[in-house]
Amino acid sequence: NIFRVLGDFSHLASIFILLHKIQQLKSCSGISFKSQVLYMLVYITRYLDLPWTSSPYNFIFKVLFISSELYIIYLMARAYKPTNDPNLDTFHVEFLLGFAGLLALLFPYKYTILEVFWAFSIWLESVAILPQLFMLQRTGEAEAMTAHYIAALGMYRALYIPNWIYRYFSEPTHKVDTIAVTAGILQTILYSDFFWIYYTKVMRGEKFKLP
Amino acid sequence: KEKVQGHDEL
């Protein structure tokens, strides 16, 4: 449905905004490398079922997300490594990995490799933006492109919420994916303060600065 | 029963 398609394209747009920023400005300053690595982990653990993906739409997006994320990590770790400042990217990702790992082991739908990794990926994605938001907090401001990147990334999962509501009411056979919905709501909440600042500042064409 | 047969969302 439209919400999900808009969400997936918003996700894709966020990746291209980020790629554009890094290549245009020849710098990955202001971008959290840790968050990008977490997203890489999210895609790998979620798309283990890539080979037998039924819908071509999903297949294409999965390939796009994995390949573009690999390229972003290459750019940040190799091509533009000098512009990477690890002293600003100091969030303890082990807490996030522990959080996702624990929930994946406690409440998977089924104790199979695929399902446990899938649950891990969903929970990890819900908190993967924290290093990036933490870095933003520390620097106190961000380039407009970085703000647009985070906004598009936040919008993607936010749009999945109406998608789930729509599916709940329109597809009688649809069972609510409680893990995805819970994590999706948590993820969107984590973006809420960013969205507020983004809306009040950037929409007025001002530079993105924390109050 | 939770939806399990493969996840149809990204």
For the stretch A155-176, pLDDT in tens is: 999 999 999 999 999 998 888 9
Phi, psi of A35 (to 5 degrees): -65, -40
Which residues in chain B are closer than 8 Å to A58, comparing Cβ atoms? 8, 10
Shortest distance, CA B9 to any CA of chain A (angstroms): 8
Shortest distance, CA A31 to any CA of chain B (angstroms): 24
**Cα(A21)–Cα(A142) distance, integer angstroms:** 12
**Cα(A89)–Cα(A30) distance, integer angstroms:** 9
Which chain B residue's Cα is nearest to A112?
B4
For the stretch A43-95, pLDDT in tens is: 999 999 999 998 999 999 999 999 999 999 999 999 999 999 999 999 999 99
Shortest distance, CA B2 to any CA of chain A (angstroms): 7
> Which of A5-14, A51-60, A122-131 bottoms out in mean pLDDT, i.e. has the lowest?
A51-60
Beta-strand ranges (E) seen in A72-152 are 141-142
Which residues in chain A are closer than 8 Å to B5, comparing Cβ atoms? none
Report ipTM (2 d.p.): 0.83
Which residues in chain B are closer than 8 Å to A49, comparing Cβ atoms? 6-7
